[in-house]
Amino acid sequence: MNIYISVFAMALTTYLIRMLPLTLFQKKIKNWFLRSFLTYVPCACLTAMTFPSILYSTNSLISGLIGFLVAIIISLCGKSLVMVAACSCAAVFLTEQILCFF
Amino acid sequence: MEYKIGVWDGIPVGIGYFSVSFGFGALAASHGISAWDAAVISFSNLTSAGQFAGLTAITAGASLWELILTQLVINSRYALMSLSLGQKMGSRIGTLPRLIIAFFNTDEIFALAMARQKPLTVPYLLGLGLTPMIGWTGGTLAGALASSALPLMIRTALGIALYGMFIAIVIPQARAQRSILAVTLISLVLSCLFYWIPVLNGISSSLSVIFCTVISAAIGALLFPIDDEENIQEALA
């Protein structure tokens, strides 16, 4: 099968999933349950995507755990997105360098 | 002005995307897909998990329907996100801009848009999508062309960047709002169950993300209903 047909099918499916809810529901939803539900979707979704996958995103569980903890601590300090991400990366890098000695 | 702020806010995502899609490009190249084709996949799909699964399906010679079904399952969370984002946009943003913005509604851009304190505007949202788009496509191209250019140590360290960003988005909100903290913790526990408990962990990771999101957001909505505009703004602030 031609790869471009496959790619087009994938792209179209993904686009429709994103586009239909965004264009079909333009009015404010009145139902209190649905509104509350949608308010909680971002945090619920981001959390589920992050943990525990973050622990397995690096070469070892230890560096993943340290990257995770560093990200939490830095965000609790009120730092920006970039700062948190950078510190987390640096922590993983350093941990893995240290782990090399063992 | 709004466009510039959007571009600026999107830069960390663009950088994060570059490192993640570098891996995708390298993987595509190892499956014998040309660098150009890999870049076309990234440019037209702009989705991480869906592309990785799609690549596997394509190289395994899956049928078109199988491919579409995979995308539907893996990417169905975007439907929830689009619905949620649409509510935040309000009636000020019309159909045409929505058709374009829908294309950029990835996990990270969605998260940034929802975390924005001010009302969303079209230039801001378009600006937000610019560097992630370039980063995602450029990273794929770079990864396919030179997968061994970056030392492995640096590549794995960059792999955690997007997760770090997610944490930076959730923590301040959970700290400010008890209801958000509760939803976050419920989602965290559920996610662990889906990952580590036998039988449950047989469910694909993308489906389990949907289950965790729907269950914990529903429990949150029942326990901490938000009935007026002010509370919603407060909860999102």
pLDDT per residue over B17-65, tens digit each?
Answer: 887 788 788 778 877 888 899 999 999 999 877 887 788 778 878 788 8
Alpha-carbon gap: A102 to the closest alpha carbon of chain B (Å):
16
Q: Is the pLDDT of residue B133 over 90?
A: yes
**Count of CB contacts below 8 A, A vs B?**
290
Q: Which residues of A touch B59 (CB under 8 A)?
A: none
Determine the residue among B63, B160, B216, B226 to mutate to test chain A binding: the one whose Cβ has the most chain A Cβ atoms within 10 Å: B160
Q: Which of B5-9, B148-152, B227-231 has the lowest mean pLDDT?
A: B227-231
**Residue contact B45–A88, C-beta within 8 A:** no
Residue B134 confidence (pLDDT) = 95
Q: Is the pLDDT of residue B236 over 60?
A: no
Q: Which of B68-77, B146-155, B169-178, B199-208 has the lowest mean pLDDT?
A: B146-155
Rg of chain A's alpha carbons, rounded to an integer? 20
Provide the 8-state DSSP code for B104: G
Determine the residue among B78, B163, B206, B216 to mutate to test chain A binding: the one whose Cβ has the most chain A Cβ atoms within 10 Å: B163
Structure-model confidence comparison of residues B66 and B120, the more confident one: B120
Report which of B108, B169, B162, B97 is spatially closest to residue B133, judged by C-alpha positions.
B108
Residue B15 confidence (pLDDT) = 85
Kindly tell me the sign of the dihedral angle through the C-alpha atoms of B76, B81, B87, B93. Answer: negative
Q: Is the pLDDT of residue A82 over 80?
A: no
Residue A11: CB partners within 8 Å, gap ≥ 6? B44, B45
- Please give the Cα distance from A44 to A21 (Å, whole number): 19
**Residue contact A51–B61, C-beta within 8 A:** no
Q: Which of left, alpha, beta for B224 (phi over 0: left; psi -120 to 50: alpha)? A: beta
CB burial readout B10-48, b (16+ within 10 A) else e: bbbbbbbbbbbbbbbbbbbbeeebebebbbbbbbbbbbb
Side chain identity, residue B223: L
Using one digit for the tens of pLDDT, what is the confidence trace for A12-63?
A: 999 999 999 999 988 777 788 888 888 888 788 889 888 998 998 888 999 9
- Please give the Cα distance from A49 to A32 (Å, whole number): 26
Nearest CA in chain A to B34: A3
Side chain identity, residue B187: S
Cα B182 → chain centroid: 22
- Please give the Cα distance from A87 to B19 (Å, whole number): 16
The predicted complex's ipTM stands at 0.87
Q: Which residues of A touch B102 (CB under 8 A)?
A: 15, 18-19, 22-23
Domain locations along chain B: 2-162, 177-237
- In angstroms, the first-to-last Cα distance of chain A is 49
Q: Is the pLDDT of residue B237 over 50?
A: no
> Is residue B223 a contact partner of residue B179, using CB atoms and an 8 Å limit?
yes
- Please give the Cα distance from B7 to B9 (Å, whole number): 6
**Per DSSP, which regions of B19-103 are E strands?**
none
For residues A80-101, average pLDDT: 88
Mean pLDDT, rounded, of chain B: 85
Q: Which residues of A touch B11 (CB under 8 A)?
A: 82
Q: Which residues of B touch A66 (CB under 8 A)?
A: none
* pLDDT level of residue B229 (50, 70, 90 thresholds): low
